[in-house]
Amino acid sequence: MATRPHIGIIGAGLSGLRCADILIQNGARVTILEARDRIGGRVHQDEVGGHLVDLGPNWIHGTGQNPIMALAEATQTVTHDPEGANVAISRQGHVVDDALAMKASEFMWTTIEEAFEYSNQHAESIPADRSLFDFFQERVQRTDFTPAEKELCLDACKLWGAYVGDPIERQSLRFFCLEECIDGNNYFVASTYKHILEHVAKAAQTQAGIFFNHPVVRIDAPPRPKDQPQAQHQVTVTTASETNHHFDEVVVTCPLGWLKRNTDAFHPQLPERLLQAVNNISYGRLEKVYVTFPRAFWQTTTTETRPPKPRTNPVFAQFLDPIYAPHPPHIQWNQECLFLAALPDPCAQPTLLFYTYGPCATHIVDSLAGLDLESSAYKTRLIDFLAPFYARLPGYSASAPDCTPTALLATRWQADPYAGNGSYCNFQVGLTHADRDIEVLRSGAGVGAERGVWFAGEHTAPFVALGTTTGAYWSGERAATQICCARGLGSLGVGAARDDSLPSAGVKGI
Ligand SMILES: Cc1cc2nc3c(=O)[nH]c(=O)nc-3n(C[C@H](O)[C@H](O)[C@H](O)COP(=O)(O)OP(=O)(O)OC[C@H]3O[C@@H](n4cnc5c(N)ncnc54)[C@H](O)[C@@H]3O)c2cc1C
């Protein structure tokens, strides 16, 4: 056993950076190989209309014991619980009456709670092909709503697709429980994840070697010799430029979508059960489109008081199954939109953030392929997509300069191989053992102990945090703990018994 083992981490996203932090604190030497020219992975910001915005995550899911919430507080990150008025736009393009919109919203949230409970209690017996949408349909039939109200409720429910990154007709009801998050509110990270990322990266940036533009293409990890535990064993990692790096242990944080396309990078081949798990768990398609205007034209003020005060301005808009927006007939075109003018100062901005998902998101990403972000073709294509929606908002006038976009930006995670050509893991119909699959992804089917290759990343997180920044952070801690355990680093000692899903006390930094 080397006294100071050299650990290679593939990927400088949240999971890799947190893993590096814990390993460094416990005395390991750490080198990170990162495919991009920056840290953060899916946590990334860019400017739109002079404001910094998040291209990946911009929510913190749940407050109970959530380390990302604690990091937000420690870094004076502005977070915001966007409670407030919603605007629902009907299929025909009209603003839905407030009382009716509230009825649909209450139905959706109540049924979501019921679906979590049902999935938790009946996971074993729910048929694998039963979807979350089936559940909504069944529940709406039990109400005494009119047919028009039922249709509106189902249209509103479909927008849950923006949470899972795919249409809810594809969301497994059986494993919907795996979408349940940490208790407490969801907070929008108004000043972006920038300072949270910088904080998590501090140890890695000062005490680890980080090689940027080093995409890993091959990992050679022969089995450790069983009869000679003290014998030298190394994992060789090869980058696209054919450079070899040798490590005592390697942590792979590449996204699930990358693993799906690159299982042949591992030599010898990964165990069959691990390959099945990689193949089984699905990968979502959430994208964002930001559009900025000279002024937040949808904000109104009342002149009835002196000085004029803002009215209750909308926070969210939901565009339900729009027949007024041209689109391919077989693709759901509903959209959820957040009004960033409702953020607290100094983060408020005259910007709409559209969440688009599934085949619609794929269609938009494809339509932007090869276009320069500054080109007029890029802007025109995005305006063609967005205008039918923002033109339905209160205060819109086609001739008003305030209603003409000044900046536009769309994400293209599906075209990004280092993001796994998608957004984050989700659980689609057809899955029979998704919970076991996740446990296998976490444990790496034993290849850590056997060959020195460990796995981290949001798809290996504890169940309550799968697909989130919190989950990525915890998964990095867990992989570091596994290595500390195996190498006798920290105060855990070799082979201490632990629950593999959770980070462990006894290792410095946790
Ligand atoms: C559009 C979108 C919205 C989201 N919204 C939220 C949200 O609101 N709240 C939330 O909690 N989560 C959200 N998420 C999920 C969250 O971003 C992820 O769970 C988290 O950032 C994943 O971190 P990670 O370290 O597991 O992976 P990553 O951040 O993807 O890090 C992996 C790293 O590995 C690198 N890499 C990949 N392949 C290679 C290779 N072959 N060689 C070397 N390096 C490689 C990548 O470049 C990357 O830096 C969102 C994600 C997306 C895409």
Q: Rg (Cα) of the chain, in Å, rounded? A: 24
342-346 long-range contacts (CB < 8 A, ≥24 apart) are 342/82, 342/84, 342/313, 342/314, 342/315, 343/78, 343/80, 343/82, 343/188, 343/190, 344/78, 344/80, 344/190
Pull the structure tokens for residue 109: 């949230």
More confident residue, 232 or 19: 19
User: What is residue 497's predicted lDDT score, i.e. its pLDDT?
Assistant: 39
Report how far residue 356's alpha carbon sits from residue 340's, in angstroms, rounded to the nearest whole number: 16
Chosen domain end from 419, 443, 465: 419
Kindly tell me if the per-residue pLDDT of 469 is higher than 50.
Answer: yes
Q: What percent of the chain has pLDDT over 70?
A: 94
Kindly tell me if the per-residue pLDDT of 508 is higher than 90.
Answer: no
Report how far residue 104's alpha carbon sits from residue 431's, in angstroms, rounded to the nearest whole number: 29
Report how far residue 60's alpha carbon sits from residue 68's, in angstroms, rounded to the nearest whole number: 7
Question: Under 8 Å CB-to-CB from 264, ≥6 apart: which residues?
Answer: none
Tell me if 119 CB under 6 Å of ligand 1.
Answer: no
SS (H, E, C) 36-102: CCCCECCCCEEEECCEEEECCCCEEECCCCCHHHHHHHHCCCCEECCCCEEEEECCCCCECCHHHHH
Kindly tell me if the per-residue pLDDT of 1 is higher than 80.
Answer: no
User: What is residue 244's predicted lDDT score, i.e. its pLDDT?
Assistant: 98
Residues 289 and 411 in one domain: yes
Q: How many domains does the chain have?
A: 3
More confident residue, 65 or 265: 265
User: What is residue 305's predicted lDDT score, i.e. its pLDDT?
Assistant: 56
Kindly tell me if the per-residue pLDDT of 343 is higher than 70.
Answer: yes
CA of 284 to the centre of ligand 1 (A): 12
SS3 (DSSP) at 7: strand
Residues 106 and 178 in one domain: yes
Kindly tell me if the per-residue pLDDT of 496 is higher than 80.
Answer: no
Neighbours of 480 (CB within 10 A): 35
CA of 497 to the centre of ligand 1 (A): 30
Q: Which tens digit of pLDDT belongs to each residue from 291-304?
A: 999 999 998 765 55
DSSP state letter for 264: G
Share the mean pLDDT of the chain. Answer: 94
Q: Is residue 311 very low, low, confident or very high in pLDDT (cuts 50, 70, 90)?
A: low
CA of 430 to the centre of ligand 1 (A): 25
> Which residue has 């949230």 as its token pair?
109
Kindly tell me if the per-residue pLDDT of 494 is higher than 90.
Answer: no
Residues 395-420 have a mean pLDDT of 97
Tell me if 476 CB under 6 Å of ligand 1.
Answer: no
User: What is residue 501's predicted lDDT score, i.e. its pLDDT?
Assistant: 63
Residues 298 and 272 in one domain: no
Tell me if 14 CB under 6 Å of ligand 1.
Answer: yes
500 within a domain of the structure (yes/no): no
Q: Which tens digit of pLDDT belongs to each residue from 323-341?
A: 999 999 999 999 999 999 9
Tell me if 18 CB under 6 Å of ligand 1.
Answer: no
Kindly tell me if the per-residue pLDDT of 396 is higher than 90.
Answer: yes
User: What is residue 491's predicted lDDT score, i.e. its pLDDT?
Assistant: 72
Residues 254 and 374 in one domain: no
User: What is residue 290's predicted lDDT score, i.e. its pLDDT?
Assistant: 98
Chosen domain end from 157, 186, 215: 186
More confident residue, 410 or 498: 410
Residues 301 and 395 in one domain: yes
Q: Which tens digit of pLDDT belongs to each residue from 58-114?
A: 999 999 899 999 999 999 999 999 887 789 999 999 999 999 999 999 999 999 999
Pull the structure tokens for residue 3: 């006294």
User: What is residue 74's predicted lDDT score, i.e. its pLDDT?
Assistant: 97
DSSP string, 144-172: ---HHHHHHHHHHHHTTHHHHTS-TTSBB
Residues 350 and 413 in one domain: yes
Report how far residue 156's alpha carbon sits from residue 110's, in angstroms, rounded to the nearest whole number: 13
Kindly tell me if the per-residue pLDDT of 492 is higher than 60.
Answer: no
Our CA dihedral for 78, 41, 472, 356, rounded to 10 degrees, sits at: 70
| C-alpha dihedral sign at 249, 253, 256, 262 | negative
127 within a domain of the structure (yes/no): yes
- State which residues form the domain around 405: 47-83+284-419
Residues 169 and 203 in one domain: no
| Residue 356: closest CA among 384, 403, 319 | 319
Report how far residue 179's alpha carbon sits from residue 425's, in angstroms, rounded to the nearest whole number: 10
More confident residue, 423 or 64: 423
| Residue 50: closest CA among 270, 250, 258, 340 | 340
Residues 275 and 292 in one domain: no
CA of 180 to the centre of ligand 1 (A): 19
| C-alpha dihedral sign at 189, 192, 195, 199 | positive
Report how far residue 285's alpha carbon sits from residue 412's, in angstroms, rounded to the nearest whole number: 10
439 within a domain of the structure (yes/no): yes
Q: Which tens digit of pLDDT belongs to each residue from 109-132?
A: 999 999 999 999 998 999 999 999
Chosen domain end from 186, 213, 239: 186
DSSP string, 405-464: -SEEEE--GGG-GGGTSSS-EE-BTT-S-HHHHHHHHHHGGGHHHHHSEEE-SGGGS-GG
User: What is residue 503's predicted lDDT score, i.e. its pLDDT?
Assistant: 62
442 within a domain of the structure (yes/no): yes
Residues 404 and 375 in one domain: yes
Neighbours of 295 (CB within 10 A): 14
Residues 103 and 59 in one domain: no
Residues 167 and 115 in one domain: yes
Pull the structure tokens for residue 286: 């959430």
496 within a domain of the structure (yes/no): no
Residues 200-220 have a mean pLDDT of 98
Residues 272 and 316 in one domain: no
Residue 191 burial class via C-beta count within 10 angstroms: exposed 0-12, middle 13-18, buried 19 and up: buried
Q: Is residue 137 very low, low, confident or very high in pLDDT (cuts 50, 70, 90)?
A: very high
Which of 424, 426, 441, 475 maximizes ligand 1 atoms within 8 Å of its Cβ, making it the mutation to test the pocket? 424
Report how far residue 437's alpha carbon sits from residue 275's, in angstroms, rounded to the nearest whole number: 10
